[in-house]
Amino acid sequence: MLKGILEYAHDLLAETVKSGEAVIDATCGNGNDTLFLSKLTGNEGKVIAFDIQEQAIQNTQRLLDHHNRKNVILIQDSHDNMLQYVSPADKQWLGGAIFNLGYLPKGDKTVITTPASTLAALGHILQILKPGRMVVLVVYYGHEGGMKEKEALLQYAIQLDQKQYQVLQYRYINQKNHAPFIIAIQKK
């Protein structure tokens, strides 16, 4: 069956991330991906989750508490400051990562991810990603500024060397209202 965008994003990570690994949620939002990754990596693993908004951090903390998940490091900062928090940058240690591009659902629609910070964070994540592992980006672009970010991301993704990365686009093409799509980047 054709899988929906969120189901497919989670499936890709579930098939690659291993229990005990460290992963990154670059945009924790309301915490749904963070919770999913927390369970996937297990008590021996960890999730490093970023969001620039206090509300997102609070919502995610609440969700994690509700499910009694304790393997998440929540960081209220832009993901392009990632280098300050995750190290070492000279090793491939990351089991996987997810981005949800756009604004916080039910939150302030003027606070959005931007091309410069998204691409900076993505570039760093690709460096520390283990071979065979994936970054999954769920791209919402119906909001103001979204189209610009979408174009910048596609431009970046298209030029990634096919000897080093496989870059898949998974999208429903007959939907109205700028339906979100997936870009999945797997390191070879």
Binding interface with a second copy (CB under 8 A): 1-2, 12, 15-16, 132, 134, 154, 157-162, 165-176, 183-184, 186
Residue with smaller CB distance to a second copy, 6 or 154: 154
Whichever of 93 and 156 has its CB closer to a second copy, that residue is 156
Neighbours of 154 (CB within 10 A): 15
Reported as type and span, the H/E element at residue 25 is: strand 22-25
CB 88, min distance to a second copy, A: 26
CB of 31 to a second copy, least distance (A): 26
Residue 87, SS3 per DSSP:
coil
Which CB, 66 or 188, lies closer to a second copy?
188
Cα–Cα distance, 51 to 61 (Å, whole number): 12
134: nearest Cα among 116, 122, 117: 122
